[in-house]
């Protein structure tokens, strides 16, 4: 069972044909050793709820009955 691994926050920038940035897409990469572990709690494509609690990023499974009610704040 893998309990801790170093992960990486990356910002992907999509560029147009002239080399100008169009948008930024932040991503947190989780190593395959972590996601393929039998104790990893999430499945591919599963809706997840991410929130900041103090100085921590918390990711939880989204309860089925609440999926329609949560909207992102931008």
Residues 6-52 pLDDT 10s: 999 999 888 888 888 788 889 999 999 989 999 999 999 999 999 99
Coil, strand or helix at 55? coil
Q: Which pLDDT band, with edges at 50, 70 and 90, does 67 fall under?
A: low
**DSSP code for 10:** E
Residue 54 included in any domain: yes
What pTM did the predictor assign? 0.64
Q: Are 60 and 53 in contact (CB under 8 A)?
A: no
Number of residues written out for the chain: 74
Residue 29 in any domain: the answer is yes
Category of 19 on φ-ψ map: left (φ > 0), alpha (ψ -120 to 50) or beta? left
Number of domains the chain contains? 1
Say if 2 falls within a structural domain: no
Residue 71 inside a domain? The answer is: no
Whether residue 1 lies inside any domain: the answer is no
Is residue 39 one of the residues assigned to a domain? yes
């Amino acid at each position: 069972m893998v309990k801790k691994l170093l992960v990486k926050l990356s910002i992907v920038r999509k560029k147009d044909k002239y080399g100008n940035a169009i948008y930024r897409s932040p991503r947190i990469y989780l190593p395959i050793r972590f996601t393929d572990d039998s104790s990893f709690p999430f499945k591919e494509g599963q809706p997840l709820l991410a929130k900041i609690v103090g100085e921590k990023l918390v990711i939880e499974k989204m309860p089925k009955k609440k999926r329609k009610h949560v909207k992102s704040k931008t």
